[in-house]
Structure 1
């Protein structure tokens, strides 16, 4: 615990300095509250609206987790298909890469038209954001498997199933978790974008409404909570990575 506290001390000090700089700059420069509010006003806004913000936080978190979970399932399956079939490698993989040349924000209104203003339009936008890093990084993880280990296992009579579960899959774990950490962070942005385009709840809708009323403190309180959500999802993915890889090494 002490070692973790020591390792976290630099970022805590840096965050405190940024907070003090924010508060001091807004006061000394007399920046209008609708441009950059005082940090103290933002924190007061979070406390005063804690129940409402808690409900919106839960909605956005649910959308992010649901979309991320679906991306994990289908992204991993896509990577397995790419690894197991040369035809899929020549067709599905280029298609996944080409899909990223289309601006996701341009596809978001289509998701709203297809799924309406319910939760599934936001989940679909999250999937658009998170599917690519999981699929591509997992596929790269499969390709990074040591061929020498595979040859030794084949010479010992390992079956295809054994090769996959005892050689390929463990080798793909670092790539999978790299994609998961990226996807966990950007899933919050996908849910927020979906709420901006059409939603009745969530932190994205909360900040949109506050922005139209020029309530800078409310806007920044929503942004801070969205940032906190992204950090928590990243740390969760990082914890899962450490737990899985440490078990693999042991």
Structure 2
């Protein structure tokens, strides 16, 4: 190798490093720009339908009117958001607290897995809208039925993705730490838990979006306060503007909660080539 080649090699490596640094930046910009463009197009079509398509205002309010309603009645929407958000947080936390131990038990015990897994499937396929009235009958009105509905609807994706993550640990890594004298508990924390965290967050991200759905479903069936109650009342009054504004508030709440979970994942989870498990998906 000549001296000229030796001088060129570091420059090439440096150029490659700079290129790798620029690519993620462009990718991050695209992640925001492309959805923003799509949203602008949808809003423009929406506005055109109202302005030039002959769609009545009470059928489809203009996007500007919906935004104005959100801010003009900010106090009302904020007050009604509090019980909904409380139910989301408490129910979601309850789902995680219950799901993780069950996932661990199913990984370590085939008897538990064979006994519990079919019940999880049955509980998931039952429509949650059909269960919500029973919660009202059993637990009355208030926050408890909403919390239980949120926990029920969030539970399945969290427990399934957690189980998949715990089972995905490399057997050779487990045998290595056990051969070094580690207990089963130490092997769990050193191998299974780090390996499962990305999959757990995958289930948590699915669950947090379903938590908003669960809270609103419970408020539709029977509740005293909440955005779901406000939405149902507005629907009964044929107030489509308030309906759209309530849906917009729920959308913002769901997006913010998902963003918080996404941020926690980026902070707490080391990147492993983008490996994620999305085997669990919730549905009503």
Shorter-chain TM-score bucket reads over 0.9
1:3/1:99 Cα in 2 relative to 1: closer, same or farther (>3 Å)? closer
CA distance in 1, matches of 2:76, 2:229: 12
Q: Identify the residue that residue 219 of structure 1 maps to in structure 2.
A: 243
- Matching residue within 234, 247, 254 for 1:230: 254
Cα displacement (A) at 1:131:
0.6
TM-score by length of 1: 0.94
Cα displacement (A) at 1:6:
5.4
Please show how residues 82-161 of structure 1 align to structure 2 within 5 Å: 82-161=106-185
Q: Identify the residue that residue 44 of structure 1 maps to in structure 2.
A: 68
Cα displacement (A) at 1:133:
0.6
Matched, 1:177 2:218: no
CA distance in 1, matches of 2:43, 2:83: 28
Show structure 2 runs of 5+ residues with no match: 1-24, 274-284
Q: Identify the residue that residue 67 of structure 1 maps to in structure 2.
A: 91
Q: Secondary structure at the match of 1:100?
A: helix
CA distance in 1, matches of 2:270, 2:90: 27
Q: Secondary structure at the match of 1:201?
A: coil
TM-score by length of 2: 0.83
Q: Which has the larger radius of gyration?
A: 2
- The count of residues paired between Structure 1 and Structure 2 equals 249
Please show how residues 20-39 of structure 1 align to structure 2 within 5 Å: 20-39=44-63
CA distance in 1, matches of 2:33, 2:130: 41
When the two chains are superposed, the root-mean-square deviation of aligned CA atoms in Å is: 1.8
CA distance in 2, matches of 1:69, 1:5: 33
CA distance in 1, matches of 2:104, 2:67: 46
CA distance in 1, matches of 2:29, 2:76: 32
Show structure 1 runs of 5+ residues with no match: none
